Amino acid sequence: MEKKLAIIATKGSLDWAYPPFILASTAAALGYETQIFFTFYGLQLLKKKLALEVTPLGNPGMPMPLGMDKWFPVLGLALPGMQAMMTSMMKSKMKAKGVASLEELRSLCLEAEVKMIACQMTVDLFDMNRSHFIDDVEYAGAAAFFEFAGESDICLYI
Amino acid sequence: MTDFNQELDATGLNCPLPILRAKKTLTGMESGQVLHIIATDPGSVKDFDSFAKQTGNTLLESKEEGGKFHFMIKKS
ipTM confidence score = 0.86
pLDDT digits (tens, 9 = 90+) for B19-46: 999 999 999 999 999 999 999 999 999 9
Q: Do A26 and B41 touch (CB under 8 A)?
A: no
Fold of B6-74: Translation Initiation Factor IF3 (3.30.110)
β-pair partners for A106: none
Fold of A4-56+96-157: Hypothetical Protein Ychn; Chain: A, (3.40.1260)
Domain ranges of chain B: 6-74
Minimum-distance CB partner of B20 among A29, A31, A99? A29
Minimum-distance CB partner of A31 among B12, B16, B55? B55
- Which residues of chain A carry a pLDDT beneath 50? none
- What confidence score (pLDDT) does residue B76 get? 94
CA angle A87, A28, A111 (to 5 degrees): 70
Q: Do A98 and B17 touch (CB under 8 A)?
A: yes
Query: CA A14 → CA A53, A60, A90, A125, distances in Å?
Result: 5, 17, 9, 22
- What confidence score (pLDDT) does residue A77 get? 73
* Count of positions (residues) in chain B: 76
Task: Note the pTM of the prediction, 2 decimals.
Answer: 0.89
Q: Do B20 and A108 touch (CB under 8 A)?
A: yes
Q: What is the spatial order of strands in the sheet that B34-39 belongs to?
A: B6-10, B34-39, B68-74, B58-65
pLDDT digits (tens, 9 = 90+) for A44-83: 999 999 999 998 888 778 877 776 666 666 677 777 888 8
Res. B71: pLDDT tops 90 = yes
